[in-house]
Structure 1
């Protein structure tokens, strides 16, 4: 792949506020993949879309979107249809699988276990570990890099996904350690992170993820953002 074919910007956005962000008991009766946005979630996505429009400067955008309803609705509410040449549904960008219909009390107990065991390696009883998501994100990156080689490769790429998936994408891209990943918070609903191509054709994040524990990043980890 020629260096000049690499996109100028790779934007990541978490879905807007969902019904589950307001009331987790919805997981007991609605499949995770079918949980919709709230009215506020649509508003958050519209506001984020206006910011992304400025970022993309009117240029075409290639989109990869999680097949979960809240991600698809976020994409619709961004209001960027006129810029989007290709919007590809990408199951590997889905949320971490926790269970099917969830037992709220059991999930709360498992979340506490995960905090002590480690978010990267803890596997939910009927679902995935963070490392499982890391593996599927890694295979997605291979696909995305092949797409960069096509003659119509755009200068802008947008991933509409989920908080954990965003963090693991960046972990894989920048080769962050598990220890560093464990300190990072999820972005807020409809919050973005943008990988910006530098003159040396490497990428840097427009801003770091917030950290919830004290851990000084290594020089390599710190070099990932502007």
Structure 2
């Protein structure tokens, strides 16, 4: 069994933080660079899928749906999955307040800090856990469900998916960097457990001394 995690291509919000003040987060489009990234990622993702069928679970945000479309992957089933969406920062954002919240969040901790009118990392972790529980049951017990899955999602959400898979500590999670836009991670099940193809970049050692799952 294989699960391919892919972050969306570069979006308008990645290059213009003020875009969040005038466009809802879920409606932010890919940039021209992001569209090129998604097209370029297509052959890589197809190679990772191989010759078998694939089920695609795609965040409902415009940038993830467009990324999946540009990959050109012929999926056996395509599911729009809200539980793998981006962390909710509220509605249209005030730039002064958002800058203050980012400083507070960094000092408090990304996992537990709750954004006003939005979510904490812990909230995202909860919905990711519910998604994974259902997915692993389907992959193990539903004979008609493809054994290869593609999840097109967001940076923090992808880190939390892996945190849940490998039972990483919160300290370790907060020490990891998001994958780059249109960067992937691959999880393979070898019959005894899941393995990650390569670690995430770390911007610091985990304060509790834990490390990423061995590859």
The TM tier, using the shorter chain, reads over 0.9
How many angstroms does 1:50 deviate by?
A: 0.9
- Write out per-residue CA displacement over residues 94-140 of structure 1, whole angstroms, 9 at most, x where no aligned residue: 10000200012211111111111001001111210000000000111
- Write out per-residue CA displacement over residues 165-195 of structure 1, whole angstroms, 9 at most, x where no aligned residue: 0000100111011111110101110010100
User: Normalized against structure 2, the TM-score is what?
Assistant: 0.95
Aligned residues: 214
Runs (5+) with no aligned partner, structure 2: none
Q: Write out the 4+ residue segments of structure 1 that deviate beyond 3 Å after TM superposition.
A: 216-219
Q: How far, CA to CA, are the matches of 1:86 and 1:103 in structure 2?
A: 39
Q: Which of 17, 38, 52 lines up with 1:24 in the alignment?
A: 17
Q: Which of 121, 124, 137 lines up with 1:130 in the alignment?
A: 121
Whether the 8 Å CA contact 1:206–1:225 is kept in 2: the answer is: no
Q: Which of 32, 37, 45 lines up with 2:30 in the alignment?
A: 37
Residues 197 and 17 from structure 1, CA distance in 2 versus in 1: closer, same or farther, beyond 3 angstroms? Answer: same
User: What is the alpha-carbon root mean square deviation over aligned residues?
Assistant: 1.4
- Write out per-residue CA displacement over residues 69-93 of structure 1, whole angstroms, 9 at most, x where no aligned residue: 0000010011112xx0001000001
Paired position in structure 2 for 1:152: 144
Q: How far, CA to CA, are the matches of 2:99 and 2:106 in structure 1?
A: 11
Q: How far, CA to CA, are the matches of 1:141 and 1:57 in structure 2?
A: 23
| Equivalent residue runs for 1:70-149 within 5 Å | 70-81=63-74, 84-148=75-139, 149=141
